[in-house]
Chains A and B, each alone.
Chain A
């Protein structure tokens, strides 16, 4: 038995291994949607408040700058799509007699956790980033209409971050199969 301080590490690892893979997969799906929505909401209010303030004097900016809001919203949609894909991977599997799950089931649980987390955190960062750049875009567009398209390029790069998370999430979850060998 290996001890760190008063903690029995071997026993701790045994407990960890026996956490149901369904817990991990549910946690992964929750993180996926939850964090993506937090990122999208944060980005929208950052851009939206600046946009409305600047539009008091320069109303023409409202139509073009909705694109920043749309980029933020897309982040939430990525989260929902990945969550649905992950959820279809989860199947009911009976545990063995001693309570442990098969290797395939355990791996599937961890894979869905990882995929959901990756997507969630990436979308949170993406939403924040697009929001702040969108706020600056709205204020700059109000001052000088030629600046908008240039700042939009920066925003497109920022929104690519969310896509990275989605791609890696889907790849990770691709091999997850509860009913496997």
Chain B
């Protein structure tokens, strides 16, 4: 980090950095999760949450509680926090914050298109969308019959337009192609985001570079795992991996050739940081992989708060809050179904 960065960062972004660090102080700790696991029913969970930062969001919930309403309240807090940050941000922080939400936009698009394929009600789908990733014309996604319409009617006006290449618009919308669409858009988005962080330079580039590299490698791993045994050719699979990350390019070449979990594991373990992750799994076990990856992400996100004067803290806060909401959902489900013994299997404590 240069002196100029340290001296000039606070001119535009000092206040919001302080605000986001304040938000991070309100994340639930391991002690909170312990207490939540002791709750007998959802009412107890709601009561406990009124003693945390969620107080004003959860306390107004009247009527019978479901896990979905609880999770909705918590998500509303994240959305309000993010809105506050976004409204008060000047450039280039504003662009950066927008980029953080493009991943959610892509997920929402895929959700609506898939739901429409299965003849679901548009309103129901819109309710399920991630609120961080909504944009104005999102409801018109349900009208699109094929990719060309999708692009021409809706996506060309969104920030995702440049991620659509010519090669994509000629395909039809079906199950397989929608997943390929999702991953192609996400690859272009990650490359673009990495480019933005490179242009911002300094500590932001350093910190975000690490976080995005992990995200790229993690998606490469998941794409490979999910495409074993499908019709996705090796070349297509290789094209879905991002153009950066620790696995680029040699690890990705090996991953593209892998046909089962052990080959994937062998390819990943050639990278020292990922070897440490995989050593936590037993032999041949892929069930715990998700949880281990979430733990790694949470650990890296917490580490970004050790440096000051960079934008990585905003991205990390979003990821940590999302992880916390996933934890609350897991705990609420376990409590509602009476399976409190399984709580520790699913939560990722942040502190």
Q: Interface of A with B (CB < 8 Å)?
A: 42, 45-46, 49-58, 128, 131-132, 135-136, 138-139, 142-143
Q: Is the CB of B22 within 8 A of A142?
A: yes
Question: Which residues of chain B have a CB within 8 Å of any CB of chain A?
Answer: 6-7, 10-11, 14-23, 25-26, 308
Q: Is the CB of A58 within 8 A of B25?
A: yes
Q: Which B residue sits closest to A53, measured CB to CB?
A: B18
The answer to whether residues A53 and B23 also contact, given A46-B10, A139-B308 and a CB cut-off of 8 A, is no
A2 to B25, CA, bound (A): 69
Q: Which A-B residue pairs are the 3 nearest by beta carbons? A: A53-B18, A57-B22, A49-B14
How many whole Å from A145's CB to the nearest CB in chain B?
A: 12
A53 near B25 with CB under 8 A, answer no
Cα A135 to Cα B10 in complex, Å, equals: 9
Instruction: Give the distance in Å from the alpha carbon of A68 to the alpha carbon of B23 in the complex.
Output: 23
Chain B positions within 8 Å of A51 at CB level = 18
Main secondary structure on chain B at its contact with chain A?
A: helix
When chains A and B are docked, how far (Å) is the Cα of A32 from the Cα of B172?
72
Known: A45-B10, A46-B10, A58-B22. A53 touches B308 (CB 8 A): no
- B18 lies within 8 A of A49 (CB): yes
Q: Which residues of A contact B19 (CB under 8 A)?
A: 53-54, 56-57
Q: In the complex the two chains form, is B22's CB within 8 Å of A53's CB?
A: yes
With contact pairs A57-B26, A58-B25, A143-B25 given, residues A42 and B18 touching in the complex (Cβ less than 8 Å)? no
Whether the Cβ atoms of B7 and A46 lie closer than 8 Å is: yes
For residue B11, which residues in chain A have a CB less than 8 angstroms away from its CB?
A: 45, 49
Chain A residues with CB below 8 A from B21, complex form: 53-54, 139, 142-143
- What residues on B are CB-neighbors of A56 within 8 Å? 18-19, 22
- CA of A45 to CA of B13, assembled, Å: 11
- A49 CA to B17 CA in the complex, in Å? 9
B78, chain A: closest CB distance, angstroms? 15
Query: Given A57-B25, A58-B25 in contact, is the A132-B14 Cβ separation under 8 Å?
Result: no
Write out the residue numbers on chain B whose beta carbons fall within 8 Å of the beta carbon of A45. 10-11, 14
